[in-house]
Amino acid sequence: MLIDIDTGWIRDVRRVPSPNCDARPPGSAPELIVVHGISLPPKDFGGRWIDDLFVNQLDRRAHPYFETISDLTVSAHVLVTRDGRPTQYVSFDQRAWHAGESCWRGRRACNDFAVGIELEGADDVPYAPQQYDTLARIVAALRRAYPTLRDAEIVGHSDVAPGRKTDPGPAFDWERLMSLLKLAG
């Protein structure tokens, strides 16, 4: 996997540009990787709803749960579906709106300095092996492309927004991801 350092986009992956992003603050660079879990509706996989949410086109009438989230303006840099396919929504050079009110090691507003990667899943549903493979390839590519991410920590959304968020949840296998990253070099 290659990232075009001039644009911040992964080459040769599906793109669905989200309007839910803006410039990182002056002097900010990606320094943290935040792993999320998402499914719309909850525990329902494979639909178009995540794309729709990230581009502000979620039909609130399509499912009762959507009534509660259709007004959100959120995004992520990348989503990895259950079959391991990545979709990029926001350039890594931009601030995606994924972490919300957040703090890591005393620094608030993690969106300013983080990359947000969503995995299609749920806290208590095991993630698919191909999702870990793709996630590890994306992290390895980010570490090659961005010097500020070479030694970056990888954390869960629950780590930067404790008490407010629980994803990627107990079903996420951190050891598996770390093992794959060691293999990726």
Question: Do residues 37 and 116 touch, judged by C-beta distance below 8 A?
Answer: no
Question: Do residues 110 and 104 touch, judged by C-beta distance below 8 A?
Answer: yes
The closest alpha carbon to 67, from 99, 98, 40, belongs to 40
Q: Is 138 helix (H, G, I), strand (E, B) or coil?
A: helix
**Alpha-carbon span 62 to 32, nearest angstrom:** 35
**CA 90 to chain CA centroid, nearest Å:** 10
**Alpha-carbon span 35 to 14, nearest angstrom:** 19
Reading the block at residue 60, the tokens are: 């609130």
Q: Pinpoint the alpha helices (H) of the chain.
A: 49-54, 66-69, 129-145, 157-160, 174-184
Q: Catalytic residue positions?
A: 118
Reading the block at residue 112, the tokens are: 């300013």
